[in-house]
């Protein structure tokens, strides 16, 4: 388990396919469109971050709490539950599992403070404690979660990555928890995608930002600096990145060339190898854009999966750009009121969002090379890996 991701409950029970996530949103989407739902979720992820920050929890606790929260909502609608109670309980359980327990009273005090201007928090200790049972049940009592940070650290060491790049990639991983990638992909793939975003896709643009400014933009508070939520101090500096994400010819060309070099497509079953066995070495100390591209190209992993994750994260920045937390209460109200969206409108907004989220995918599809049905594919890959890696090999730590 802890030494081998592939036999963990995270790998065997909690890597889901996109259809399952779509299914879980069905009820909520009868009341709000998907762009709104995405923003409501973003608000709750930020809320978990804010509470954990007040409690001085480390990022690992934030990550685990958010994963619990997401796993809960793969089985329930937001509408029929109270996400702030769910969030509070996720934080309480996560800090115990990550071995930095805090008294439940302290947690509730901080939640009340954070939620004071956002409708308050009406639950006492016994209510949160009672809800823990329900949460445990929804999580199927699988509580150990793997995060990409560990993999990133290992890869960075291997690559002798510059501190600023490591930090920037770390921030991208923080942001990735606001997307669904942690439900869809293995953590080492997310770590690689973060590295890919920093070192390949946005290498030049990012540099200036990472060095000069690690408190970040794009927190949805444009113009409301007084009531600022500081959550995104740990977020990647992506305002610069978010523009251009869906029409970046440079990126596009790179992705394309890498994908075709590796022969990635639906027939590429030959190389589902653990990168551990074949990690290309980057010569010299400095990592530049060019040899990172080569490093990724030589890496024996499914490059198309890394590209999917990359796109998923980059599309978050697109959504984030016009996210304003002041609008969220109205959105939550809309979700809770009994009026359904009329069907045609529903469809309209759906397709609009698909356009938003799917722009990168559309690009891929045009290329032909990258066309694939990743849902099925993904599961197959997992199964194969599962058998390939001996259970008792502790060196096969979650990758590289």
Partner 1 sequence: MTEYKSKRDSCRQKIASKYDILGFISSGTYGRVYKAKSKNKAGRQTQEPDSPMTLPDDGKEYAIKKFKPDKEGEAATYIGISQSACREIALCRELHHENIVGLQEVLLEDKSIHMVFEYAEHDLLQIIGFHSHPERKYMSEYTIKSFLWQLLNGVAYLHANWVMHRDLKPANILVTANGVVKVGDLGLARLFYKPLQPLFHGDKVVVTIWYRAPELLLGSRHYTKAIDIWAIGCIFAELITLRPIFKGEEAKVENKKTVPFQKNQLQKIFDILGNPTKERWPTIDQQPEYPNLASFRQTPNVLRSMYQTWPIKSEQGCNLLAAMLEYDPLKRITAEEALNHPYFQEDPKPGME
Interface residues with partner 1 (CB under 8 A) are: 1-4, 7-9, 12-13, 58, 60-61, 76, 80-82, 85, 92-93, 96-101, 103-104, 125-126, 128-134, 136-137, 140-144, 150, 392, 394
Minimum CB separation from partner 1 for residue 90, in Å?
A: 12
SS (H, E, C) 132-166: HHHHHHHCCCCCCCCCHHHHHHHHHHHHCCCHHHH
Minimum CB separation from partner 1 for residue 233, in Å?
A: 19
C-beta closer to partner 1: residue 271 or 386? 386
Helices marked H in 55-179 — which ranges?
Answer: 59-72, 83-97, 104-115, 125-138, 148-159, 163-176
Minimum CB separation from partner 1 for residue 387, in Å?
A: 15
Other Cβ atoms closer than 10 A to 316: 28
Helices (H) and strands (E) in the chain, counts: 19, 0
Minimum CB separation from partner 1 for residue 61, in Å?
A: 8
C-beta closer to partner 1: residue 103 or 362? 103
Q: For 280, phi and psi rounded to 5 degrees?
A: -65, 145
Q: Give how far the C-alpha of residue 204 lies from the chain's centroid of Cα atoms, to the nearest Å.
A: 23
C-beta closer to partner 1: residue 81 or 239? 81
Please give the Cα distance from 246 to 181 (Å, whole number).
18
Minimum CB separation from partner 1 for residue 229, in Å?
A: 24
C-beta closer to partner 1: residue 263 or 394? 394
Judge whether 191 and 173 are in contact, CB under 8 Å: yes
C-beta closer to partner 1: residue 132 or 369? 132
C-beta closer to partner 1: residue 146 or 317? 146
Please give the Cα distance from 48 to 53 (Å, whole number).
8
Minimum CB separation from partner 1 for residue 64, in Å?
A: 11
């Amino acid at each position: 388990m802890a030494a081998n991701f592939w036999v963990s409950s995270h790998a065997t029970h909690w890597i889901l396919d996109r259809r399952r996530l779509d299914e879980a949103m069905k009820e909520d989407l009868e009341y709000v469109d998907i762009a709104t739902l995405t923003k409501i979720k973003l608000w709750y992820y930020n809320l978990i971050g804010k509470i954990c920050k007040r409690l001085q929890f480390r990022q690992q606790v934030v990550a685990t709490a958010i994963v619990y929260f997401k796993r809960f909502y793969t089985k329930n609608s937001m509408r029929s539950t109270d996400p702030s109670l769910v969030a509070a309980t996720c934080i309480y359980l996560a800090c115990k599992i990550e071995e930095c327990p805090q008294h439940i009273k302290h947690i509730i005090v901080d939640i009340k403070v954070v939620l004071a201007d956002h409708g308050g928090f009406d639950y006492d200790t016994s209510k949160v404690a009672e809800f823990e049972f329900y949460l445990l049940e929804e999580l199927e009592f699988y509580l150990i979660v793997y995060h990409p940070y560990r993999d990133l650290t290992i890869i960075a060491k291997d690559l002798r990555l510059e501190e600023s790049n490591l930090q920037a990639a770390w921030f991208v991983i923080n942001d990735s928890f606001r997307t669904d990638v942690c439900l869809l992909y293995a953590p080492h793939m997310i770590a690689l995608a973060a590295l890919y975003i920093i070192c390949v896709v946005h290498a030049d643009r990012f540099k200036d930002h990472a060095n000069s400014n690690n408190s970040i933009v794009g927190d949805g508070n444009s113009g409301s600096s007084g009531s600022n939520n500081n959550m995104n101090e740990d977020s990647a500096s992506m305002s610069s990145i978010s523009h251009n994400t869906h029409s970046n010819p440079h990126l596009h060309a790179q992705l394309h060339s890498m994908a075709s070099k590796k022969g990635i497509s639906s027939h590429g079953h030959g190389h589902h190898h653990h990168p551990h066995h074949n990690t290309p070495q980057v010569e010299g100390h400095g990592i530049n854009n060019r040899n990172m591209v080569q490093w990724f190209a030589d890496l024996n992993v499914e490059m198309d999966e890394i590209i999917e994750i990359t796109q998923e994260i980059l599309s978050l920045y697109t959504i984030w750009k016009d996210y304003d937390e002041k609008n969220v209460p109205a959105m939550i109200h809309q979700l809770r009121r009994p009026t359904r969206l009329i069907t045609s409108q529903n469809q309209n907004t759906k397709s609009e969002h698909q356009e938003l989220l799917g722009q990168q995918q559309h690009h891929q599809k045009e290329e032909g090379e990258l066309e694939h049905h990743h849902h099925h594919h993904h599961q197959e890959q997992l199964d194969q890996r599962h058998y390939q890696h001996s259970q008792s090999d502790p060196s096969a730590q979650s990758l590289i």
